[in-house]
Amino acid sequence: MKKLPAIVLVLLLISGTCSSQDTTNFPNLGRIERFHPSLDELIPQNEKIEVLCGGFEWSEGPVWIAEEGNKFGGYLLFSDIPRNSIMKWQEGEGVSVYMKPSGYTGVADYGREPGSNGLALDAEGRLVMCEHGDRRISVLTKGGGKMTLADRWNGKRFNSPNDLAIHKNGDIYFTDPIYGLPQRADDPSREIDFCGVYRLQRDGIVTLQTKDISRPNGIGFSPDQKTLYVANSDGSDPVWRAYPVKEDGELGPPNVFFDSSKDDRIPRSGGDGLKVDIHGNVYATGGGGVLIISPKGELLGRIVTGESISNVGWGMKGNVLFLTSDMYLCAVVTTTQGTGF
């Protein structure tokens, strides 16, 4: 990935979403702040934030799809929630619509955020989706059709599944805040009066793991999968929690992993999506960028685009961190790797 002058970024913004692309050169944006020397071992000193494309309404949920025979190793999928679409980006080719509708299949209008949100791959390589409008966890089958995995707990419809993490045993842990409901907390179609963290077992059983987080959002496992990190997007409780995962798959009482209100180097802010690298460092969106937090809960640095960042995801050979940042899709090349590569 080579660099282009800043004027290219201006032209990119004027032209909107890149529907075709015959270059692998991208403009830069923002800055990388370094609070601890160990960040240099994860992101090189001279590394920049590259803008791969722009023009989206609200990008989210990036996931890398490895593809044999692809000269770039595969492609990236991510949600554009307001447009009810999943987009596909491939280096050298640009962006195209991969799936529409992605999260709402009804005929009436469904608020500001009808589309899919968090995306992940299961052990079979199938795309698993959190759907706002249809209020479910679904999977894209090998034949190309969607199948509902879960849309209810105790007979009540979910609020709007937001983000997910899949355990190596196949269980899916996901968060269910109210952001996808047309009227959010006051929506008349709301059936569950709290925002929960759930576990969807391989046998289809859905169990509530906790309802003690006001707005659970991003979620991800430590490399050994013995800890589950959950972000709270509520700025009045800007805490990332670490839950021990018991042998039976249930979550134990949480510990405070990181609290943005306790660090004056960053804004007090709740969290959105997160991912974890092979060393156990957590890359958590919130606090004005991507917070890079050590396994001990120490803030190492921050990736700042100047725009809100909803989520991150690893791709290429596992060493490229993709950022869904409001209207942009960005990337940072690292010297570490995400879990699962």
**3-state per-residue secondary structure call for 221-286:** ECCCCCEEEEEECCCCCCEEEEEEECCCCCECCCEEEEEHHHCCCCCCCCEEEEEEECCCCEEEEE
Q: What is the pLDDT along the chain (341 residues), one digit of tens a residue?
A: 544 333 334 334 434 455 444 445 679 999 999 999 999 999 999 999 999 999 999 999 999 999 988 877 999 999 999 999 999 999 999 999 999 999 999 999 999 999 999 999 999 999 999 999 999 999 999 989 999 999 999 999 999 999 999 999 999 999 999 999 999 999 999 999 999 999 999 999 999 999 999 999 999 999 999 999 999 999 999 999 999 999 999 999 999 999 999 999 999 999 999 999 999 999 999 988 999 999 999 999 999 999 999 999 999 999 999 999 999 999 999 999 999 99
Q: What angle do CA 74, 102, 140 make, to 5 degrees?
A: 60
Within-domain flag for 223: yes
Please report whether residue 339 resides in a domain: no
Within-domain flag for 282: yes
Q: What is the pLDDT of residue 24?
A: 56
Confirm whether 317 is domain-assigned. yes
Both tokens of 97, joined, read: 């619509």
Instruction: Give the separation between CA 23 and CA 107, rounded to whole angstroms.
Output: 39
Q: Is 340 among the domain residues?
A: no
Q: What distance in Å separates the CA atoms of residue 153 and residue 205, rounded to the nearest whole number?
A: 9
Q: State the total domains in the chain.
A: 1
C-alpha distance across the termini of the chain, in Å: 20
Q: What is the C-alpha to C-alpha distance for residues 324 and 64, in angstroms, rounded to an integer?
A: 13
The pTM of this model reads 0.93
Name the residue range of residue 177's domain.
2-333
Give me 125's structure tokens: 């390589």
338 inside domain: no
Q: Any idea what the CATH number is for the domain that residue 251 is in?
A: 2.120.10.30
CA angle 338, 89, 125 (to 5 degrees): 55
Q: Is residue 341 part of a domain?
A: no
Q: CB of 75 within 8 A of CB of 101?
A: no
b (16+ CB within 10 A) / e for 300-339:
bbbbbbebbbbbbbbbbebbbbbbbbbbbbbbbebebbbb
Q: Is residue 58 part of a domain?
A: yes
Q: Find, among 335, 301, 302, 300, the residue nearest to 318 by Cα.
A: 335
Q: What is the pLDDT of residue 316?
A: 95
For residues 285 and 274, the answer to whether their CB atoms sit within 8 Å is yes
